[in-house]
Amino acid sequence: MPEFLKFYIDGAWVDPVAAKRIAVIDPSTEEVFTEISGGAEADVNKAVAAAKRAFKGFSHSTVKERLELLESCLAVYNKRFEDIAQACAREMGAPIGFAREAQAWVGQQHFMATIERFKSFAFTEKRGSTLVVKEPIGVCGLITPWNWPLNQIVCKVAPALATGCTMVLKPSEIAPVNALIFAEVMHEAGVPAGVFNLVNGTGPEVGQVLAAHPDVDMMSFTGSTRAGTIVAREAAATVKRVCQELGGKSANILLEDVDLDSAVRQGIGACFINTGQSCDAATRMLVPAHLHDEAVRIAVDEANKQTPGPAFAEGTVLGPLVSQMQWDKVQRLIQAGIDDGATLACGGLGKPDGLERGYFVKPTVFANVKPGMTIEKEEIFGPVLSIIPYEGLEQAIEIANDTVYGLAAYVQGKDMDKVRHVAAEMRAGSVYLNYPDSDFCSSFGGYKQSGNGREYADWAMHDFLEIKSVLGYGG
């Protein structure tokens, strides 16, 4: 479509300064289905300049005005819900039902949670004769990934709007169409010109330029730890704030008293959701050693129910991986698991039978995985579960925390005192007890190399605000 070749800058769809096209591939077919333009430094400069001009007015908008704007954004988002879901299915390979029920839905939920918490958010606080004021930080650069695009776009854009910031969004060039639709949502919702801007392109040509730009006051990045360190390095010269949500290698500890059948089956879901392409996926299942073999049997049975297939095919549970590069990486790590001596319980190398075209992988379970194995340490980002036996709770906690990451952890058991004890020992930003429902008013972010800062609802607002103390203000 023609608008896919334009950027959204200063309230209008504009041509790139220099023409450069990037193919967008349908991972279910491996075929190009559209093209976008790739931006460069000149495009970033235009977008940042527009955001800087808009900041002067938007930063002084009232809470009531911004609340009404957020509500308008949600209303238009709901109107475009199916278009967004269709885009996610096509460009990501998300099964169409999952695209509706999770990928498009999650953006809706973030708008709703932000609106709910914004209504009671305090931008000022009196401490004696001092007035503490929370003010918008300025122009924000937002870099979002392909795996949960609307999740990350909305949980950055919504708090930026709520706090009075202006922004430039660089979505993933691998799955950019949903973001272009989102820009249409922003336009129709009445977001003032220059407040929201979008420039497509690659990390080196757009993302790094945005991070280094002297007129960008804050960077919010979601993606790999490798790319996150590049953004932080580029941002360091101008001492701007950098918030990062990066990789993960989450442990799922099953305690002695657990309902094993239910916990393992739900654990497959927590690992394989979005074809395993989730930074907080429960990829390491720790089970008491004497329950290991039974856990493996259940896991294999459940994994074999995860039917791979094209995004729009009836009955598909697991869509394809997003790209050839991602497929190659997952194959390399499955081979590493075999080479390291883990037991391949099901799945393995190659594509599932009957799926020669598309970036499809076999649902894979490894048993007898030992700490230090490649598949136990590296983020795989595919439907690959490692089952690790443990002797004693202290060993389980030690194994779970022995990772450079700290995004999420999972604990399953009936004795809630023990479950909560284990949760308290987890070095992770989110701990999920007995597979709870989603909570979009919770905080989300990681310890260690999983990043810094927090997202979701009012937690995200803090990262988009500066704090000013006005002393002698009065009693």
Question: What are the residue numbers of the active site?
Answer: 245, 279
Cα within 13 Å of Cα(310), Cβ side: 14
Closest CA to 36 of 211, 169, 202, 168: 202
How far is it, in rounded angstroms, from Cα 246 to Cα 222?
6
β pairing state of 124-127 and 130-136: antiparallel
Q: Tokens representing 164?
A: 């009075």
Between CA 474 and CA 302 the distance in angstroms is 65
Residue 287, H or E segment: strand 284-288
CA–CA gap between residue 323 and residue 22 (Å, rounded): 14
Pairing, β 12-14 against β 7-9: antiparallel
**Separation in Å, CA 205 to CA 173, 211, 212, 304:** 11, 11, 11, 42
Q: Cα–Cα–Cα angle for 246, 331, 448, nearest 5°?
A: 20
- Tell me how many helices (H) and strands (E) the chain has: 16, 20
Q: At what angle do helices 393-401 and 416-425 cross, to 10 degrees?
A: 40
Cα(12)–Cα(218) distance, rounded to whole angstroms? 24
DSSP secondary structure, 325-388, as one string = HHHHHHHHHHHHHHHTT-EEEE--SSPPTT--SSS----EEEES--TT-HHHHS---SSEEEEE
| Cβ–Cβ under 8 Å, residues 264 and 233 | no
Q: Can you tell me which residue has the tokens 């220059």?
A: 194
126 DSSP β-pair partners: 131
Structure token pair of residue 104? 């498009």
Say which residues have a Cβ less than 8 Å from residue 133's Cβ, sequence separation at least 6: 123, 124, 467, 468, 469, 470
